[in-house]
Amino acid sequence: MKKHINLVRLAIVAAFALIYFVAVTPTARTYPPFQQKAKALGYPANDCSYCHVNAAGGQPYNARGTWLTQQKEKRSANVVDVSWLKEYKATANGGAKSKAGGRKSKKKAA
pLDDT tens-digit map of 14-58: 888 888 777 765 544 446 888 899 999 999 988 888 999 988 888
pLDDT digits (tens, 9 = 90+) for 79-101: 999 999 999 987 755 555 555 54
What is the structure's pLDDT at 30? 45
Yes or no: say if 56 and 27 are a contact pair by the CB < 8 Å rule.
no
Q: How far apart are the first and last CA of the chain?
A: 92
Measure the CA–CA gap between 15 and 39, rounded to whole angstroms.
Answer: 40
Mean pLDDT of the chain: 79
- How many CA atoms lie within 13 Å of 28's alpha carbon, on the beta-carbon side? 17
**Which DSSP state fits 95?**
-
More confident residue, 10 or 30: 10
What is the structure's pLDDT at 90? 78
